[in-house]
Amino acid sequence: MATLTEAEAPPPPSPAVPTRRTSRGRGRLVPYWLLLPGVLWLIVFFALPMVYQASTSVQTGSLEEGYKVTWHFATYWNALSEYWPQFLRSVLYAGSATVLCLLLGYPLAYLIAFRAGRWRNLVLILVIAPFFTSFLIRTLAWKTILADGGPVVGALNALHVLDVTGWLGMTAGDRVLATPLAVVCGLTYNFLPFMILPLYTSLERIDGRLHEAAGDLYATPFTTFRKVTFPLSMPGVVSGTLLTFIPASGDYVNADLLGSTETRMAGNVIQTQFLRILDYPTAAALSFLLMAAILIMVTLYIRKSGTEDLV
């Protein structure tokens, strides 16, 4: 009986190749498995509530009889025609607070990035420190500061800025409180760290040798800032303005605690419709209108600033 030689015998099967392919296939799925918790979080706490709010905005009925989806899109027009002053006021207040945050935050961020030295970490801690206190408590503190017997009114009285009849027609007990100035001051204070941190991050990445090169080319400090520093910090400016303007537009705490009925913003109307009047379709429609308005303004701003790569 003939036997096969070693050269004629078939080679044994190698199990290593399918094992490597299997491990490679599993390795490719690892990033998707890591993304799964975040995706589920967005679906449960963002996508589903948005869908529910969208369906609520086109419902009709009452709290006693119940609400039904009747595709009543006229709710959007009714809400906009009735509450457009609050929408405009939200944009104006948020825009004013954003400009003030930029004017106050940019010098501080520049100081931290280029001049703070060994005190840099301490200054950064002081910038972040307000976050350790509740948003509500910080706003109530501003109510005390801006009160008639507070330090702000005392300083303005010492400078003879406020007369006896009150400032801007307000009563003597509400010279600063219950005015647009108080609301804008509260918004500026509460959202100032959201402006400083992106600005600092952007400025800190600028190579200091660029400033030296500008000085070697006989550029003045102002020219160096205008031609080198500010253009290179534009990503931080855009990020800071977005992080400030977007939450400030929907804020209602500052207008509620520091303002009056004449300074109500869109967020105050939405809160009242949801929690007091219990008109859920109108409240949902107002929420979507505010979100759409902010989205349009942000898109135009990003395109105008030429930083589309940020989104």
Examine residue 220 and state whether it is found in any structural domain, yes or no: no
Q: What is the 3-state secondary structure (H, E, C) of 69-135?
A: ECCCCHHHHHHHHHHHHHHHHHHHHHHHHHHHHHHHHHHHHHHHHHCCHHHHHHHHHHHHHHHHCCH
Residues whose CB is less than 8 angstroms from the CB of residue 159 and which lie 6 or more positions away in sequence, other chains included: none
Per-residue burial over 267-283, b = 16 or more CB atoms within 10 Å of its CB, e = otherwise: bbbbbbbbeeeebbbbb
Is 244 in contact with 194 (CB distance < 8 Å)? yes
Give pLDDT, residue 168.
Answer: 46
What stretches in the chain show pLDDT beneath 70? 1-26, 161-174, 306-311
* Residue 72, domain member (yes or no): no
User: Where does residue 232 rank: exposed (0-12), middle (13-18), buried (19+ CB within 10 A)?
Assistant: middle
Give pLDDT, residue 23: 60
Q: From CA 300, how far away is CA 311, in angstroms rounded?
A: 12
CA separation for the pair 172, 166 (Å, rounded):
5
φ, ψ of residue 46 to 5 degrees: the values are: -130, -55
Domain membership of residue 147 (yes or no) is yes
Query: Mind giving me the DSSP string for 246-290?
Result: HHHHT--HHHHHH--GGG--HHHHHHHIIIII--HHHHHHHHHHH
Give the count of beta carbons closer than 10 Å to the beta carbon of residue 226: 12
The tens digit of pLDDT for each residue in 258-283 reads: 988 889 999 999 999 998 988 899 99
- Sign of torsion, CA 259 264 268 274? positive
Number of domains in the chain: 1
20 sits in which H/E element: helix 16-42
Does residue 22 form part of some domain? no
Residue 270's CATH number: 1.10.3720.10
pLDDT at 185: 92
Distance CA 287, CA 54 (A): 10
In this prediction, residue 218 carries a pLDDT of 84
* CA pair distance 102, 141, nearest whole angstrom: 23
CA gap 287, 291 in Å, rounded: 6
Phi, psi (5° rounding) for residue 66?
A: 95, 160
Residue 181, domain extent: 77-205+233-310
Report yes or no on 133 lying in a domain: yes
Return all residues near 158 (Cβ < 8 A) that are at least 6 apart. none
Q: Contact at 8 Å (CB) between 94 and 242?
A: no
- The CB density around residue 238, as the number of other CB atoms within 10 Å, is 21
pLDDT at 307: 59
Euclidean distance between CA atoms 197 and 243, whole angstroms: 10
pTM: 0.81
Task: Name residue 181's beta-bridge partners.
Answer: none
User: Cα separation of 233 and 174, whole Å?
Assistant: 40
Q: Is 107 within the bounds of a domain?
A: yes
- CA dihedral (287, 290, 296, 302) positive or negative: negative
Q: Tell me, what's the pLDDT at 1?
A: 47
pLDDT digits (tens, 9 = 90+) for 180-189: 999 999 999 9
- Coil, strand, or helix at residue 17? helix
